[in-house]
Chain A
Amino acid sequence: MSAITLSGRVGRGVSSILRTWLLFIAILVLWEIVTRAAANTFFPPPSKIATTAAGLWFTGPAGHLFLTDTVFDNVFPSLGRTLGGWLIASVIGIAVGVLVGRSRTAMDYVGALFAFFRALPPPALIPIFIVLFGIGPGMQTGSIIFGAVWPVLLNTVDGVRSVDSVKVETARSFRTPKGYWLAMVVLPAAAPKIFAGLRLSLSISLLLMVVSELVGPPNGIGISLLQAQQAFDFPLMWSWLVLLGLLGYGFNAVFVAVERRALAWQPTGGRN
């Protein structure tokens, strides 16, 4: 957000909302008209998708906030694995990244190895994870962690290494305690890079959640999507697709908001 939009926020609020959503609504209406006219079974009109989705997720009992069993059986486990795997990968990535990045020689030893691991397409490793963990939540979370850890780790190393030498020397001349120095100098300086890695990892986690569920039951968004396709139930399949889009949009929006707050003190205002 630049200063111009901030000063004119109140006056332009309505028109900017209108402008932001106008094309979206126009395309939605156009899609509705075209799909109704074409009557192609692969492409149901958005109104049909919306009613299917509403019936699928929001017709549960009032005690469950009107959420259906499908939400509890398939959506929440998927979300749990995605976020859980991502969090574990983030903790490991930042911890190892700081350790390796602060050492002068460690990256020489393991840098090539880590870069190679990052280059491995994570879905290709799923067969190995299946035999190691069996089909189920362990395999799914495991492959999410393995795929999501490298961007965080390598970005943390990058960030930790780029700490301004003046800051390093100032801290040293004040005999700053190690823990304090790490938390107050190194991590804040590395934060923009770390956040960039975390963001990439989040979308990788979402991708791997779907991939690992396409091959491995018992439950989840991925397997529901595949079952809908195999049953040729296209409105249902589209509902799951839309849900994935919404999830991605929501994750990203929350992440950007948190990042803005956390990096507000940066000269770039956390825009990177």
Chain B
Amino acid sequence: MKRVFRSLAGLAVFLLLWEGIVRAGLVRQEFLPPPSVVFATLFQLLGDVSFLRDVIATFLAWLIAVLISVAIAVPAGLLLGSIPGLRASTAVIIEFLRPIPVAALIPLILLLIGSGPDAKITLAVYASLWPIMFNTIYALGEIDPVLLETARACGTSKTRTLFSVALPHTAPFVFTGIRLSATIALIAVVSTEFLAGAELGIGNFILEASTGSTRFDLVLADTMVTGILGFAINGGLELLGRRLFRWNTADREAV
């Protein structure tokens, strides 16, 4: 309880500082509106149907992207993690593809599939594949050999070993990967909307508010909604992970 109060106190001090700086005229108010204005705009926006539609569009694109990346990255990670030869021969390609910033692919994707929802989903999938895949590979390498050997000594079949030993062991790591990817996917979706100008979405809303009418209270209120969304997604997944993997004690951070 004490922690909650302290967090709220920290938040309050930050908002007061911000309000004070703007009111004192250190920055121009139309460029950086004070929190009182931003929060008023935020509440107004929450009643605005077209804004809510933007939020839902972004959220759906995010959800689809995360599901697709899980569907691709987990099997790929299991495959690469269990066949060392395959992993060694694909390492160069993966290490080359992984660090390409997703924003750099926007021009290419725009040409190939246009600026519809599939463009932002594709880019978000590309960006969020890697943490899930690397956590899966890492987890497979960290299985206690005693467990595997015990399974073998008991004559457990390969598929049974996969489902009863390998998958339960990797699950917490994979979940951490998914949590990291969820944040990355949200950033990728919003960035694509902002840079490529989708028809719908939070990023597109920021783009319109910052170019046409230069309403920076709208931009900030919208950024706040994105931040809250990201915060809620991350916090929710963290809680879920703690719940699902209560039996696990290993340190789950790999990336």
* A contact set with B: CB distance below 8 Å: 16, 19-24, 27, 42, 105, 108-113, 115-117, 119-128, 130-132, 196, 200, 203, 206-207, 209-211, 214-215, 222, 225-226, 228-229, 237, 240-241, 244-249, 251-253, 272
Contact = CB atoms under 8 A, between A and B. Distances in A.
Q: List 6 tightest A-B contacts by C-beta distance, closest first.
A: A248-B99, A119-B230, A127-B210, A109-B10, A229-B107, A108-B6
Question: Chain A binding site: helix, strand, loop or mixed by DSSP?
Answer: helix
Given A24-B92, A109-B9, A248-B100, 9 more contacts: A108-B3, A112-B7, A116-B227, A119-B234, A123-B194, A130-B210, A211-B195, A245-B96, A253-B95
B230 A244 contact: no
Interface residues on B, range: 35 or more
Given A42-B112, A214-B106, A19 B88 contact: yes
Contact of A110 (B10, B106, B194, B227): B10
B92 to A, nearest CB: 4
Contacts of A130: 210
A212 to B, nearest CB: 9
B103 A20 contact: no
A252 B99 CA distance: 8
A248 B93 contact: no
A105 B7 CA distance: 10
11 contacts: A21-B92, A108-B7, A108-B10, A120-B223, A121-B227, A127-B210, A132-B31, A211-B103, A211-B191, A228-B107, A245-B96
A196 B206 CA distance: 31
A206 B101 contact: yes
Interface in B76-112: 85, 88-93, 95-108, 110-112
Contacts of A215: 195
Contacts of B202: 124
Interface in B1-51: 2-3, 6-7, 9-11, 13-14, 27, 31-32
A23 B103 CA distance: 27
Interface stretch (B157-165, B182-190, B240-248): B182-190
B177 interface: no
B100 A241 contact: yes
A148 B214 CA distance: 26
Contact of A251 (B3, B99, B183, B220): B99
Given A109-B7, A115-B231, A211-B195, A245 B100 contact: yes
A131 B31 contact: yes
A250 to B, nearest CB: 9
A113 B17 CA distance: 13
Contacts of A206: 99, 101
Contacts, number: 170
A123 B101 contact: no
A182 to B, nearest CB: 24
Given A109-B10, A120-B230, A196-B255, A229 B96 contact: no
Contacts of B220: 128
B107 A210 contact: no
B99 A113 contact: no
A81 to B, nearest CB: 13
Given A23-B93, A123-B187, A222-B103, A248 B98 contact: yes
Contact of B10 (A112, A124, A132): A112
B60 interface: no
Contacts of A251: 99
B226 interface: yes
A186 B58 CA distance: 42
Contacts of A132: 27, 31-32
A226 B203 CA distance: 19
Contacts of B107: 225-226, 228-229, 237
A225 B108 CA distance: 10
Given A23-B93, A121-B226, A127-B210, A248 B194 contact: no
Contact of B92 (A20, A124, A126, A241): A20
Interface string B206-233: 1001100010100110110011111100
Contacts of B10: 108-113
Contacts of B92: 20-21, 23-24
